[in-house]
Structure 1
């Protein structure tokens, strides 16, 4: 456990990506099985201990230290694990730390009835660094800048294997990943998942930015405003299995059972999950039957889906690509070859659940730009540019695929509330809620106007701007609500966002899609910020 605690401590204070990779790769090489596998799972959110929650840790702390001291410390530190590790009373006997594997076994065996007894006993075996590592491992709230992709890259560097192979073999394996380590570290045969519906890594795109491309070499498609999914069907002894995976590799088949049931031909397909238009809820049907993202959002995150939900928000997949079809791996083929096969294959699928994303005919980039400008009225985010001779490779490869998102919408909003961030931002007020005027703030005779929250953002500003904003919040606080500070409604943000939709969950009746801080408008008086009506006018009927 000491080595894992030292790794976490080093990663927290390391900002360089390459330095993080070196630290993690060195740990994976030096640490024996199964500790390194459990640590890797913890770093990539692959562990879950249902009995150990933040509320349990808080209750244990306030039994041992002054509740006011805990509350003040937690508010200042901004992280439950760090606060608990520092405030926990030192044990009378010298620490005798368990291994990572032993700690995992103990945590996994805890229940709601036993956690209040067993977790303190485990914490008493550790010093402050070990307690921090244990609580981070137990709650899954790492927030140390290690993404799943970075962890896989470090794994590849540790054992001099291809990161593409790591991506390919990773899915279907469970912690502590013994077959994966045996392959990479000892030269064993790679893990096999031939008869399992496994996720394959997505091919991703770079932003187009100022890149100049020759349209003779690229095909253009719409970038639809849904969620990217992968559908996998395999034939096996049980007759066949189908899985629907999100971009991060999460299995969302239970949320969209009609999609999983619709694919019964062995294949791995890449597409965009959308909801049909012309359903209840006020959304109009978009191009080719796709409703806005707000309609799809009604289905996301649900563990069970009612018959009514299936009827009101029927899902379908707009196909982009084919990776494997009836046992033939197409990923080394060119985009043109895969596209031709996909167009021949798609008619064999249920047309109510599948169609193929159309290719946009544009001879020049300027012509495509003009078409893209008209995309504001469609259920799309922009356009994609795919090199015609590109294979399907995991991750982002320069020069192969580009995404050209539509220009964001902009609106001036007033800062209303701020809350501390997490991890490295735990000492800064970095999460901002902003609003627009519901009426004319200058119309004093009729009572002025109320500010109504319209969105929340926590990125779009530089580190220097974050420091300035943190000082501003502290100096302009008028009320506090636990960890939230209400400010004096004097600072204007220029907020960029992709779209806005009607929402019954917010007092303003609106919900922004991907809001982010575009500029801090300290020069602009708050009463000149935009009104709710400006946003309402952007909602599609």
Structure 2
């Protein structure tokens, strides 16, 4: 644990990417394989505790630390409010031991101490956790608590970890990222396979790292001649890679989740192809010969069903609109220019037509002004705007600015009233930065959206002070506030939803501005929001 705690401190104190990467390389090179595997799991976002594997709940740890440190409960709460991070608060309240417990490795702590007590009775879990607190020095106690709370945020992205492993091993980062997609168990065996320079059988079913577009914030004409770009509609569905290798089919979402069985019509279409390939595209609910896809809410009814029955297959049939060909008959095509990949894709789907695998159409405006005019028709077409792809660009991994842009239609907007506030995470853990907003339903304000982005630092500090001074009630970490502050919210779309008390669900809400000029009585009404729904 001492080695991993030292790595955590080094990563936490450093602001330079190269320094962080160097620290990761040193750790993975020197750490025992079991420890390195668990460190990789944790730094990549993995958690050792979950709803199905309860080791220590937040309320339990607060009670345990109050007793173990002889601290009144109210002072524990006050300390947490001041520090803003529960793991650090717990570590600070326990004094360092005069005689630390014998050193255990990171893997031993997880595999032999914590995992064995998961879901056991409280007394047993409490004994294990408190004993660990009392025997660990501060740096190790802090990391221990970070593992328990699942908040091991230390300014390191999964890609940075993958780059460090690539630097250390010489294995291309694309291969490492590919092998880390999906669910994997931290073990020396997995680490060996991850860093193997041989092609493994499992590699055949792994997707390529997705190429992600950046939002276009400048004027489109600044990109140069429109003939250098390929324009496609930006679909509002599930980004996915459909893999057919050696006759086997796999379907992966951009979120690194296997979707096999959930969209059997798309998988059947891939099996019907006479060639192996990897397709990149968008899963959409689409009825027959309709001119536009069904709302995203229709697709959501399918996401939850591992094996949809005939009713769901009929009510929300799914197709894949394909826009890229990454591999054909075992040949990796990603280094080819976008235009050439597109031509090969068109030839493939033209030779084997199937409405379940449709080609995402290219839009050919005369110039950027014409493109802007067409973009304004996006919502009527059931799309979010345009994707702009440089015709000469290779297919890259991750978000690389310059070759793929998303030129989205201006957001829908409403004016809503701030109802609740909650402290943020990481650097914002001492400030109230997560907000819940409501609109009027007759004489009642009904919550309709949560947002935590859009305000600048000065506004965040001002709103934090206001929240603390105008709190009505507390519900754990959440405060209800006087319903007087109005904010303009932007969002991508609205869907009718039976799962929400308001009857609607907004997609990707964010704060556009603080409306100091508007009283709460003039905020928008629920009927206005429902009228925007598709």
TM-score (norm 2): 0.86
Say which is worse superposed, 519-528 or 173-182, in terms of deviation: 173-182
Contact 1:170 1:180 survives alignment (8 Å): no
Partner of 2:523: 529
Contact 1:169 1:192 survives alignment (8 Å): no
Deviation at 1:346, TM superposition (A): 2.4
Say which is worse superposed, 346-355 or 425-434, in terms of deviation: 346-355
Q: How does 1:47-86 map to 2 (within 5 A)?
A: 48-49=48-49, 52-53=53-54, 55-56=56-57, 58-59=59-60, 62-63=63-64, 65-66=66-67, 70=76, 73-74=79-80, 77-86=83-92
Pick one of 143, 147, 151 that aligns with 1:141: 151
Partner of 2:6: 6
Contact 1:223 1:383 survives alignment (8 Å): yes
Contact 2:234 2:387 survives alignment (8 Å): yes
Contact 2:242 2:251 survives alignment (8 Å): yes
Structure-1 separation of matches of 2:291 and 2:414 = 26
Q: Aligned in 2, Cα 1:64/1:375: closer, same or farther, shift over 3 Å?
A: closer
Partner of 2:42: 42
Deviation at 1:530, TM superposition (A): 2.2
Pick one of 153, 166, 185 that aligns with 1:156: 166
Q: How does 1:365-444 map to 2 (within 5 A)?
A: 365-439=368-442
Secondary structure of the structure 2 residue equivalent to 1:156: helix
Structure-1 separation of matches of 2:43 and 2:204 = 25
Say which is worse superposed, 410-419 or 295-304, in terms of deviation: 295-304
Secondary structure of the structure 2 residue equivalent to 1:4: helix
Contact 2:492 2:507 survives alignment (8 Å): yes
Structure-1 separation of matches of 2:213 and 2:268 = 29
C-alpha distance after superposition, 1:383-437 (max 9, x if no partner): 1111222222222344322221111122211111111122222211111111122
Partner of 1:442: none
Partner of 2:120: 113
Secondary structure of the structure 2 residue equivalent to 1:143: coil
Contact 2:54 2:118 survives alignment (8 Å): no
Partner of 1:33: 33
Structure-2 separation of matches of 1:328 and 1:141 = 41
Q: Does 1:311 align with 2:317?
A: no
Structure-1 separation of matches of 2:511 and 2:16 = 25
Structure-2 separation of matches of 1:349 and 1:4 = 53
Structure-2 separation of matches of 1:201 and 1:27 = 25
C-alpha distance after superposition, 1:26-75 (max 9, x if no partner): 43344343322320111112454556536546436525635555555555
Deviation at 1:131, TM superposition (A): 2.8
Structure-1 separation of matches of 2:467 and 2:58 = 29
Partner of 1:207: 215
Q: Does 1:234 align with 2:234?
A: no
Partner of 1:222: 233
Q: How does 1:118-197 map to 2 (within 5 A)?
A: 118-138=128-148, 140-158=150-168, 162-171=172-181, 175-176=186-187, 189-190=197-198, 192-193=200-201, 196-197=204-205
Listed as ranges, the gaps of 5+ residues in structure 1 are: 279-284, 440-448
Contact 1:262 1:350 survives alignment (8 Å): no
Contact 1:48 1:139 survives alignment (8 Å): no
Secondary structure of the structure 2 residue equivalent to 1:287: coil
The count of residues paired between Structure 1 and Structure 2 equals: 517
Structure-2 separation of matches of 1:100 and 1:298 = 41
Structure-1 separation of matches of 2:80 and 2:309 = 40
Contact 1:232 1:268 survives alignment (8 Å): yes
Alignment RMSD:
3.1
Contact 1:286 1:379 survives alignment (8 Å): no
Q: Does 1:97 align with 2:98?
A: no
Contact 1:213 1:365 survives alignment (8 Å): no
Partner of 1:359: 362
Say which is worse superposed, 253-262 or 243-252, in terms of deviation: 253-262
Say which is worse superposed, 267-276 or 192-201, in terms of deviation: 192-201
C-alpha distance after superposition, 1:335-366 (max 9, x if no partner): 22221221222256683532110110112111
Partner of 2:282: 272
Contact 1:332 1:392 survives alignment (8 Å): yes
Q: Aligned in 2, Cα 1:341/1:410: closer, same or farther, shift over 3 Å?
A: same
Secondary structure of the structure 2 residue equivalent to 1:131: helix
Which one has the bigger helix percentage? 2
Q: Aligned in 2, Cα 1:150/1:347: closer, same or farther, shift over 3 Å?
A: same
Say which is worse superposed, 418-427 or 125-134, in terms of deviation: 125-134
Q: Aligned in 2, Cα 1:423/1:255: closer, same or farther, shift over 3 Å?
A: farther
C-alpha distance after superposition, 1:122-174 (max 9, x if no partner): 55542333233234335543233332223223333455664334334544875
Q: Aligned in 2, Cα 1:269/1:76: closer, same or farther, shift over 3 Å?
A: same
Contact 2:4 2:39 survives alignment (8 Å): yes
Structure-2 separation of matches of 1:378 and 1:255 = 26
Deviation at 1:103, TM superposition (A): 2.1
Secondary structure of the structure 2 residue equivalent to 1:459: coil
Structure-2 separation of matches of 1:179 and 1:507 = 44
Partner of 2:514: 520
Partner of 1:508: 502
Say which is worse superposed, 338-347 or 47-56, in terms of deviation: 47-56
Structure-2 separation of matches of 1:381 and 1:27 = 44
Secondary structure of the structure 1 residue equivalent to 2:36: helix
Listed as ranges, the gaps of 5+ residues in structure 2 are: 68-72
Partner of 1:445: none
Structure-1 separation of matches of 2:336 and 2:429 = 47
Partner of 2:260: 253
